[in-house]
């Protein structure tokens, strides 16, 4: 395998669409609200988000190596859970993993700073908060994922902050519209992280990574998946009913089918490992389809 392909795969590219679609949602509703759309700003927003996400994935691998989580994870469902394991396999050294992650974050920051200069200082606040939360997800001293705050962090970074940032890039102003458009995405990406914590339970527990699933235990934690998936669609229906989102946004309810399948599968077998793969695939489908349908609805 070439070094270029190796480094590319270390970013876990299969998860990068999870950040691309919220960028599309924000830009779509910005166009609906103002009629303005800059192809250049959208491309740079997407580039910044992808670099940030890729960088955080790589840095997460490094810090999970340092805290020992991935080293002892014998139930990792690659490529869904447990990181890339490239350090553990000796494919990339820990030092190079750290350096690569930092370079990716710097590239994302440069794109973000350019957009800030071209639009509004509000973007610096959004981007700075996202960078701080993303880095602190697994890195000390905060290590938010180990304190039961990783789920909220991911929901904010991959949902609210990304949609809001993309909206602001296009419009130069804040609005309640992207906040409500982001809620289903925030809930579903959190649900994706949440279900991935079940097969990682034993390794996280031994390493002292106290995720919500570790804190609650698998049997109690399975109810959390129902709350997260229900929250995604109840927030969508409520936002439309209250007039915060347009009626076409309800087409995103179609993604409730795989989301319900995922929640049901986890509830039936929370102790499973490989048996959870269909449920993980279903929530990935729900998250991606919800984002795509919301982005489309903004143009209808």
Give the DSSP letter of residue 161. Answer: H
* Residue 99 lies inside a defined structural domain of this protein: yes
Short-list 137, 270, 132, CA closest to 209: 137
* Residue 2 lies inside a defined structural domain of this protein: no
Please give the pLDDT value at position 74.
Answer: 64
- Residue 169: CATH number of its domain: 1.10.600
Total domains, the chain:
1
Please give the pLDDT value at position 82.
Answer: 67
* Residue 3 lies inside a defined structural domain of this protein: no
The answer to whether 221 touches 213, Cβ cutoff 8 Å, is: yes
Residue-wise pLDDT for 130-148, tens only, equals: 999 999 998 999 999 999 9
* Residue 109 lies inside a defined structural domain of this protein: yes
d(CA 76, CA 64): 13
Full-model pTM: 0.93
* Residue 67 lies inside a defined structural domain of this protein: yes
* Residue 142 lies inside a defined structural domain of this protein: yes
Output the CA–CA distances (angstroms, integers) from residue 70 to 45, 84, 93, 206, 270, in the order listed. Answer: 31, 9, 14, 11, 21
* Residue 64 lies inside a defined structural domain of this protein: yes
What's the domain range around 30?
Answer: 18-297
Cα angle 108, 114, 118; round to 5: 145
d(CA 175, CA 100): 36
Reported confidence tier of residue 272, pLDDT bands at 50, 70, 90: confident
Pure H helices in the chain: 3-10, 17-34, 39-66, 94-118, 122-136, 150-155, 161-171, 176-196, 201-207, 212-216, 218-241, 256-268, 277-297
* Residue 166 lies inside a defined structural domain of this protein: yes
Residue-wise pLDDT for 37-61, tens only, equals: 999 999 999 999 999 999 999 999 9
């Amino acid at each position: 395998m070439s070094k270029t392909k190796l480094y590319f795969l270390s970013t876990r590219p299969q998860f990068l669409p999870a950040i691309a679609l919220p960028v599309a949602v924000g830009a779509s509703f910005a166009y609906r609200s103002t009629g303005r759309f800059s192809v250049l700003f959208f491309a740079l927003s997407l580039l910044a988000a992808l670099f940030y996400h890729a960088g955080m994935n790589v840095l997460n691998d490094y810090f999970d190596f340092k805290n020992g989580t991935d080293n002892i994870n014998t139930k990792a469902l690659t490529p869904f859970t447990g990181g890339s394991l490239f350090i553990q396999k000796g494919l990339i050294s820990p030092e190079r993993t750290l350096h690569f992650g930092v370079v990716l974050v710097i590239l994302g920051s440069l794109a973000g700073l350019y957009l800030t200069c071209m639009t509004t200082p509000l973007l610096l606040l959004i981007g700075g908060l996202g960078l701080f939360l993303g880095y602190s997800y697994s890195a000390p001293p905060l290590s938010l994922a180990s304190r039961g705050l990783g789920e909220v962090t991911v929901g904010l970074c991959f949902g609210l902050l990304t949609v809001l940032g993309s909206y602001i890039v296009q419009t130069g102003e804040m609005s309640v519209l992207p906040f409500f458009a982001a809620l289903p995405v925030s809930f579903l990406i959190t649900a994706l992280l949440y279900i991935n914590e079940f097969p990682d339970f034993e390794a996280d527990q031994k390493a002292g990574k106290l995720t919500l699933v570790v804190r609650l235990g698998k049997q109690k934690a399975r109810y959390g998946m129902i709350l997260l998936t229900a929250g995604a669609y109840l927030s969508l229906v409520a936002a439309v009913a209250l007039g915060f989102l347009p009626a076409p946004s309800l087409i995103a309810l179609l993604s409730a089918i795989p989301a319900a399948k995922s929640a049901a599968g986890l509830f039936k077998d929370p102790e499973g490992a490989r048996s959870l793969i269909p449920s993980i695939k279903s929530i990935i489908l729900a998250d991606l389809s919800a984002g795509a349908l919301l982005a489309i609805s903004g143009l209808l």
